[in-house]
Chain A
Amino acid sequence: MTSQEDRIAIASDLPEFEDRDKQETKFTTCYMCACRCGIKVTVEDNKVRYIQGNPNHPINKGVLCAKGNSGIMKQYSPAKLSSPLLRKPGTERGAGEFEEISWERALGILEKRLKRIRETDPKKLAYFTGRDQMQALTGMWASQFGTINWAAHGGFCSVNMAAGGLYTMGHAFWEFGDPDWENTKYFMMWGVAEDHNSNPLKLGLKRLKERGAKFVSVNPVRTGYQAIADEWISIRPGTDGIFALSMIHVLLKNKLVDDEFLIRYTNAPQLVVNTPGVKGDGLFYRGDSEHPQVWDLQKEAYVDANRADVTPALFGELTAPDGTPLRTAMSILIEKYLDDEYSPEVAAKECGVSAADIERIALEMAHVAFKETITLDVEWTDWAGRKQDKFIGRPVSMHAMRGISAHSNGFQTCRAIHLLQILLGTIDCPGGHLAKPPFPKHVPPGIKPAKTNIPNTPLKSPPLGFPTCPEDLVIDDDGKPLRIDKAYSWDAPISCHGMMHMVISNAVKGDPYKIDTLMLFMANMAWNSSMNTAQTLEMLCAKEDDGEYKIPFIVCSDAFNSEMVAYSDLVLPDTTYLERYDTISMLDRPISEPHAACDSVRIPVIKPDRDVMSWQEVMVEMAGRLEFPAFMKGDGERKYDDYKDFIINFEKEPGIGFLAGYRGKDGTKSLRGEPNPRQWEAYEENEGFFEYELAENQRYMRHANKDYLELAKEAGWVGSTDQILIEIYSEKLQTFRLAGQGLYDGPMPTEEHHKERLVKYFDPLPIYYMPLEEQRIDRDEYPFHAVNQRPMFMYHSWDSQNAWLRQIMNQNYLFMNRLAGEKLGIEDLSWAWVESHNGKIRVQVKLMEGTNEHTVWTWNAIAKRGGAWGLADDANEASDAFLMNHLISELLPAKGDKMDKITNSDPVTGQAAWYDLRVKITPAKEGETGAWPQFAPLKAQPNAKKSPDMLSYSTHKNVNIVRSWADTLFRGDK
């Protein structure tokens, strides 16, 4: 104890401020955003006194962000729904006229409807969820129901990020991997708004600062993290790919690559067939083997690439014994990126980063990777069983997020960033980019998307998976999409998170077919979660000639009176995060840290005061009512009493369940073990989380680390202990490209535009291309990029409106570069019209320095409908804030060709291209003020508590410190 602490500990003459005997402390997991921090909640009389970060928690280590600290205002929101709601007969969708009904009636209505769908045509149930963190459960539920029409919100969030990494190295950023904050010396952050993830990123940036590491930020906007970067690269949106590839050009020109890493851990030396225009071109040469071949320099022979005892040629052009011309993947790569189109001079014109900066940053990273190498003297065993005496670290790391992924070229840009990391040898090494268990997985994970639609029959595989060739597409014999969102069709072949942003639009058009019921959880599709919001509202209310809604029945589960509630027919009120049991499961994307496998739970800390049921509980109950095989015993009895019982006893395979901790009958087994009847209690006793620390020799090079891979197989994270080979060259993408060229033995597209897209965008090596919206509009007419981000204090806090946080921001502005604004005669705080190919909006402008001059941007989802969320009709969010969504179409800009009907998404993954938007800006006329368009206020939920005019929250009578009269009199004004 320091002398200072000594002195502070001296009790002062203070009153007792609160009765701690009346308070309890409980641990659970935050849900104010997707970051999943551990929280310690002090409760007094069933009211929340204080929510703080749990100091022992692996994710947040005691800290908590602005959202987490505002949980009280979520819990006490006047917009909380208090009973199931049924749209009143004779009233219209959107009118918000509901009758309160009992849970028994609500569940009965749902059961009857779902039973009929399941018995007849299961795909007529479209079940889509927001960022619910329970995809392991909802996905399994959909599989058991038998509908392929299930996905969570990944398709409109960051599937490019996930897919880009999983198809390259078996892990990616955020939930899949983190920079090695403790050892990295050079950190480059790409397109990270204030988003994924919250507290770990902030803690990490502080560690970099403490250690004097360099922090470079690539972002068109300088807010938040960018403000503390050592270097801010003001890039033009959507051009990060050419920036990354040009840095690769610089590295290759100077022969600055980690060739040992490439030979041992990647497919760079594998031989590729070089027969353009002929079947088999671009695929790996296998000879008579089933495995790709390399040329062994010592044996001077073709050998299986996966053997340990080989010395492969990294470069070279060869001719196979059968006369087939071959090149190594690395040779193709070098030839491609040494081309002038990737030179810094050419790239600079496209991305706006100067040629000198491109070259300098590439060479700085090379210096740190190769001249400031770190070694950890830890013995480990490689995949082939060979002892190694150290881990070699190349301390350059990166993190990238939505600014990269929310473009229609985002998949290839993510691959480009990973390729840069791989060439520098910075993958899963000390100081580099580290995977987080259960990642890395083999490339890609071995799950294929389901295609079947059989009444009363579960799917054979999950609705979402990872196609590796055209045979895996979810299309019919004529090549038409089978899924309502057209995921896994020729429009977006590897859309492995689904395409939630297309569901309403497709269902209303009946393209590819009509559905019966749309079931939504935690997704505000009637407002900020949809592209094209104004027209989406019309779609939700669109009717057939016979007066029936085009989407006949809409069910939503929500804890609050959101905009979506008004557009639903049946509303099931959810609990808040402080009122529910929940799991953040190892079967999903858990809370692991690079050196520890972790998962966690939510445990109620507050008793609900309303007639509500958590969606988890509804899922399990409905699974029992509908008699899903996995939820029934052989004798027709239900297998699980409730959600808690299901979590304890469900086994995906023997010993593997939703929670990896405290397994086995006595709770002593980790990762795998029979069900523990006291598992919930064990989590509760351990502050709501489970942490399994990896041994020192399992912490790095896990794609090729025997001890790690054996553990991963035992834990069910991977299917085999084979090396996870990093794929710089993707043969999987090439199969799709061959299909586009008409050179594939298997399904091939018939439409010209599909062929063209496959040939152009399914390059087996990362490429840059202009985002699709930009290709189809007049760039001079729409001169600005328009992007958006959520502020740090609201990021991912999607399911509430918060009385404290809205005091920090309740109106968004259109921010633009001061010089760009002045050129157009647009003054600070003036109103302006912003127009895209899809429509126009009126907004208030703020001029700033820290914005790329070709870019305008705003804070997203600040705007709300009046009346929703307990807000007054004239709340600032309704009158002055605006949604950029109105400008963004879910379809590509119309040009009168076949592409008009194609989704506004990445052509590879179906990732919603939110940030491809281009706009023009004109000053508003005098007197034109206020946000436009405006929407009529929504109704409060039935029996809503009136939102207070004044709020004075306290859990007890506040105890004042009284200044003594003596002090007042004798010390005077001191």
Chain B
Amino acid sequence: MKLGLVVDLDSCVGCHGCATACKQWNTSGTIGPLSDKDPYGKDPNGAWLNRIRTYEVGDTPNSKTVHMPMSCMHCEDAACVTVCPTGASYKRTEDGIVLVDQDKCMGCNLCAWACPYGARELDPQEGTMKKCTLCVDRIYDQRLPEAERQPACVLTCPTRSRTFGDFDDPNSEVSKLVRDRAGKQLLPELGYNPVNTYLPPRNKPVVVMHETASISQTVKGWVNKIISR
């Protein structure tokens, strides 16, 4: 299995719902706590596993605003795993989820430097590396209703711009979306082969104009029709 996310950039409005849902679930989850330094002070800064970057692309008049949720891509050839000196970072064989064993992590930060997607954050209290687990503590949990065995970010997304599934399965929703919507990997040239895939904005719908028949300059040009109330 190759589990990961598809993110639809055509409908993401940058609301940060996925980011706080992630923080909320995971701070009490297997990778938690996700600590916050100076939560009520100057320059508060905590560990987040999913952040939304908003960019403007191009100059006026050919400019567009893009909201880009970024979390671990669960790369097939993950640089963060390669560089880990303790073996704390690893990619699971059974489903491809990249995890950090909190007991083995010494907080050296090498993985965060190696990751080109900025997807790993050092916990300011624990001193260990935190990252997206694809909510491994939800997706297999038989005690959750089946429909809720999804990553928190996917469940919560108000524009339903996030889809979770198995990229190995050609019939899965994620595989179909990637095919139908020409899904793109981020920075494929680096060769890490990220699993998470982004759907680019669609072509805009074309609406034709109503024909302009009788040009009426005054009220005199209007004729009553027999229409009963």
Contact = CB atoms under 8 A, between A and B. Distances in A.
Interface string A200-220: 001101100100111000000
Interface string A51-94: 11101000010111111111010000010000000000000000
B48 to A, nearest CB: 7
Interface in A923-974: 947-956, 958-963, 967-969, 971, 973-974
Contacts of A256: 210
A203 B158 contact: yes
A227 interface: yes
Interface in A80-119: none
A948 B13 contact: no
A69 B156 contact: yes
A862 to B, nearest CB: 13
B15 to A, nearest CB: 4
B94 A227 contact: no
Contact of A63 (B54, B125, B157): B157
B20 A804 contact: yes
Nearest to A42: B28
28 contacts: A8-B140, A50-B152, A51-B24, A52-B148, A55-B147, A62-B155, A70-B23, A202-B15, A205-B11, A205-B159, A226-B65, A253-B217, A254-B214, A309-B228, A315-B224, A316-B224, A334-B222, A360-B209, A801-B40, A807-B46, A818-B60, A874-B41, A950-B125, A951-B39, A953-B27, A960-B102, A962-B103, A971-B93
A60 B141 CA distance: 24
B179 interface: no
A769 interface: no
Nearest to B27: A953
A808 B16 contact: yes
Interface in B29-60: 29-46, 48, 54, 56, 58-60
Given A231-B204, A849-B58, A974 B81 contact: yes
Contacts of A186: 207
Interface stretch (A364-372, A542-550, A590-598): A364-372
B28 A954 contact: yes
Contact of A214 (B27, B104, B207): B207
Nearest to A327: B219
A55 to B, nearest CB: 7
A4 B164 CA distance: 10
A311 B227 contact: yes
B90 interface: yes
Contacts of A260: 227
A37 to B, nearest CB: 9
B136 interface: yes
Interface of B: 1, 3, 10-17, 19-21, 23-25, 27-46, 48, 54, 56, 58-60, 63-67, 81-82, 84, 87-88, 90-91, 93-95, 99, 101-104, 124-126, 136-137, 139-143, 146-149, 152, 155-161, 165-166, 169, 171-173, 201-202, 204-205, 207-210, 212-219, 221-229
A875 B23 CA distance: 22
Which of B88, B94, B143, B224 is most buried by chain A, counting CB atoms within 10 A of its CB?
Answer: B224
Interface in A813-835: 817-819
Interface stretch (A14-22, A492-500, A612-620, A638-646): A14-22
Given A50-B28, A66-B17, A960-B103, A213 B205 contact: yes
A256 B222 CA distance: 11
A331 interface: yes
Contacts of B66: 227
A72 B24 contact: yes
B229 A263 contact: yes
Nearest to A803: B39
A199 B158 contact: yes
Nearest to A63: B158
A178 to B, nearest CB: 15
Given A50-B24, A255-B213, A309-B228, 10 more contacts: A8-B149, A70-B23, A227-B65, A254-B214, A297-B226, A370-B210, A804-B24, A876-B43, A950-B35, A956-B28
Nearest to A77: B40
B139 A8 contact: yes
Nearest to A229: B204
Given A70-B24, A223-B65, A312-B229, A78 B213 contact: no
A3 interface: yes
Nearest to A5: B146
Contacts of B3: 8
B39 A947 contact: yes
Interface string A870-910: 11101110010000000000000000000000000000000
Given A7-B169, A222-B65, A803-B39, A338 B219 contact: yes
Nearest to A969: B87
Interface of A: 2-5, 7-12, 14, 17-18, 20, 49-53, 55, 60, 62-70, 72, 78, 185-186, 194, 198-199, 202-203, 205-206, 209, 212-214, 222-228, 230-231, 252-256, 259-260, 263-264, 297-298, 307-316, 331, 334-335, 338, 360, 363-364, 366-368, 370-371, 792-793, 801, 803-808, 810, 817-819, 848-850, 869-872, 874-876, 879, 947-956, 958-963, 967-969, 971, 973-974
A803 B227 contact: no
A22 to B, nearest CB: 12
A804 B65 contact: no
A963 B101 contact: yes
B159 A202 contact: yes
B36 A951 contact: yes
Given A65-B158, A203-B158, A17 B24 contact: no
A956 B27 CA distance: 10
A810 B125 contact: no
Contacts of A314: 222, 224-225, 227
B224 A313 contact: yes
A950 B137 contact: no
Contact of A973 (B84, B213, B228, B229): B84
Nearest to B222: A315
A7 B171 CA distance: 13
A66 B19 CA distance: 7
A953 B172 CA distance: 36
A835 B224 CA distance: 55
B33 A954 contact: yes
A367 B210 contact: yes
A792 B90 contact: no
Contacts of B31: 958
B197 to A, nearest CB: 15
B65 A209 contact: no
Contact of A958 (B11, B32, B146, B219): B32
Contact of B216 (A12, A65, A254): A254
Contact of A331 (B204, B210, B219): B219
A804 B23 contact: yes
A722 B8 CA distance: 47
Contact of B28 (A313, A869, A950, A953): A953
A917 to B, nearest CB: 24
Contacts of B143: 20
Given A8-B166, A315-B222, A850 B20 contact: no
A227 B159 contact: no
Contacts of B12: 228
A522 B169 CA distance: 52
Nearest to A263: B227
B99 A806 contact: no
A66 B16 contact: yes
B213 A254 contact: yes
Contacts of A222: 65
Contacts of B124: 950
Nearest to A331: B219
Contacts of A871: 40-41
A217 to B, nearest CB: 11
A876 B42 contact: yes
Given A805-B20, A819-B60, A872 B40 contact: yes
A506 to B, nearest CB: 36
Given A2-B172, A55-B147, A363 B209 contact: yes
